[in-house]
Amino acid sequence: MITVSALLSKVKALDLLRYMGKNSIVIYLSFFFPMAVSRTILLKLGIIEDAGLISLIVTCTATIAPMILFWLISKLGYGQFLFKRPAWAYIAEMPRAKSPAPSPT
């Protein structure tokens, strides 16, 4: 599994999966609501009888909707508190961006 994953990481066509893996906390924290809504709507409508197809649609909705929400939040700049840990919740010192080393003058 690890070898296949390492080989697939080099494939350019899988950049979307790489991005989703990098931001998997977004999906983990916000998949429930789209999943519940899509499942309820599909079952109430009764258009699709196949449980496998319903499961596929619900799973796709539950993973794509959080990524759309994350994209909207990053573009609007409001709501980042939903996916970003507050400063008071860090046990160790909050990680900082690496600054470039000063150049000798």
Tokens representing 59? 């799973």
| Distance in angstroms (rounded) separating the CA atoms of residues 72 and 47 | 31
Cα→Cα distances 93→1, 68, 81, Å: 35, 31, 19
Looking at the predicted structure, is the pLDDT value of residue 96 above 70? no
The answer to whether position 50 is within a domain reads: yes
The answer to whether position 3 is within a domain reads: no
The answer to whether position 97 is within a domain reads: no
The answer to whether position 98 is within a domain reads: no
Task: Please tell me the total count of domains within the chain.
Answer: 1
98 vs 4: which has the higher pLDDT: 4
Report pLDDT digits (tens) over 23-77. Answer: 888 888 889 999 999 999 999 998 988 999 999 999 999 999 999 998 998 898 8
For residue 94, what pLDDT is reported? 59
Tokens representing 94? 């909050």
Average pLDDT score over residue span 74-85:
83
| Distance in angstroms (rounded) separating the CA atoms of residues 23 and 57 | 21
The answer to whether position 2 is within a domain reads: no
Please give the residue range of the domain that contains residue 59.
Answer: 11-84
The answer to whether position 63 is within a domain reads: yes
The answer to whether position 99 is within a domain reads: no
Average pLDDT score over residue span 75-93:
80
The answer to whether position 36 is within a domain reads: yes
For residue 43, what pLDDT is reported? 92
For residue 52, what pLDDT is reported? 94
